[in-house]
Amino acid sequence: MPTGTPLALTRVSGTTAERGEDPGSGAASLAYLKASKRYPGAESDAVHELDLDVPAGEICVLVGPSGCGKTTAMRMANRTVEITSGDIEIGGRSVLDRNPSELRREIGYVIQQIGLFPHRTVDQNIATVPRLLDWEEDRIAARTTELLELIGLDPAYGDRYPAQLSGGQQQRIGVARALAVDPPLMLMDEPFGAIDPINRTRLQDEFLRLQERIGKTVLFVTHDVDEAIKMGDRIAVLREGGELAQYATPAELLARPADDFVRDFVGTDRALKRLALIPVSEVELAEPVTVRAGESPAEVMPRIATGSAPHPLLIDDAGRPLGWLDSGQLETGPVPSSAPTPPEPVIETSSTLRDALSALLQAGVSQAPVVDGSGRLAGVISVSAISGFLSAGEDIDLEIPAAARPRG
């Protein structure tokens, strides 16, 4: 029986270390090499010659309609489903060379129904794999506390049973349990599928924040294309028969669907979905003419004359926008301390283009000031700038890791 050394680890370059946080034990690359599964007696493959290359530290989402074989494909990685041809390599090593139970202990596993052990406390649930690996009790206790803190749950919850927790808390415990031995690869099968929409969004955001710190390689299964776009660094769209229809970054998938199947699957609102991927800071903002209260016409008028924008924007001493002025009003006297037109909507650089566009449409204006995190003016964004950005396809090469993207 093949046993032996753990999966080869490839450290994620920089991502966690750069942020000055504890780097995880690392992440492993994952490669499907013409991996197929055919069930005994079946006429055709459930998963057909799947080729996927997931770099270490990235989230790859398998998405597709039900029955497309995405869960089967995922489960081939930890051999809970055995491949019938081809190979899968984790950290460059074939899963077929591994003892299945030992392999699975090195791969985090989260399922939709959570599957917490009802007869074990939260602590004991989290300690499942460490116990299988015969960790010392001290180390298990320390790790359990650390994980509860990581998922934002009071360690006092450790003594409770799963039935005493809410669905969202149970799902977090499920993630903590999967992370217990700091596995280089995580498999997540519709992990938020059974959670109500509000909590689902929160759990998705939490997981992305977590991913920012731990930088795991994640294979994530969902049937929800919006979730795929939100969670994925890369998305593999599968069609019926377990065939790969397209493997691309979310931006590319939305901008250039490979065929009609993918186009239908991602939906007719893909332009809007693209907007949701991009933070306002990525767009080149227009520079408005800014004026401060008390400035004289002699100071202000030349700036207005050379500026491109028709209306000057009044800002305070800290650079915060106060409102729009009429240039005619400035010819005759000093700049007043208040403006007739309020600056709203004011958009933050960290919001998505989708939110920015929505705010513009909602307010019925064509442009709005954009401010940075401290409220200081960064520029002006307009409806035409957003549509120009999209039609130029500038976002396609824009690869923002899912964990670093703006979140609602």
Binding site for other proteins (CB under 8 A): 78, 80, 101-106, 109, 111-120, 128-129, 132, 160-161, 163-164, 177-178, 187
Of 80 and 327, CB closest to other proteins: 80
Token pair listed for 55: 């770099």
Using CA atoms of 174, 176, 180, 186 in order, give the dihedral in degrees to the nearest 10: 70
3 state SS of 41: coil
Measured from the CB of residue 124, what is the shortest distance to other proteins in angstroms?
A: 10
In sequence order, what are the beta bridge partners of 85?
A: 36
CA 200 remoteness from chain centre = 13
Q: What is the CA radius of gyration of the chain?
A: 26
Measured from the CB of residue 82, what is the shortest distance to other proteins in angstroms?
A: 13
Token pair listed for 349: 């650089």
Of 102 and 224, CB closest to other proteins: 102
Measured from the CB of residue 187, what is the shortest distance to other proteins in angstroms?
A: 8
CA angle in degrees (0–180, nearest 5) for 180-185-107: 55
Measured from the CB of residue 52, what is the shortest distance to other proteins in angstroms?
A: 20
Who contacts 395 (Cβ-Cβ below 8 Å, separation ≥6)?
Answer: 251, 255, 274, 277, 278, 282, 389
Measured from the CB of residue 397, what is the shortest distance to other proteins in angstroms?
A: 37
Q: What does DSSP assign to residue 352?
A: B
State which amino acid sits at residue 335: V
Measured from the CB of residue 5, what is the shortest distance to other proteins in angstroms?
A: 16
Q: Are 223 and 63 in contact (CB under 8 A)?
A: yes
Measured from the CB of residue 118, what is the shortest distance to other proteins in angstroms?
A: 6
Q: Concatenated DSSP letters for 63-103?
A: E-STTSSHHHHHHHHTTSS--SEEEEEETTEEGGGS-HHHH
d(CA 339, CA 313): 9
Q: Are 139 and 176 in contact (CB under 8 A)?
A: no
How many beta carbons lie within 10 A of that of residue 18, not counting itself? 9
Of 39 and 117, CB closest to other proteins: 117
Measured from the CB of residue 135, what is the shortest distance to other proteins in angstroms?
A: 14
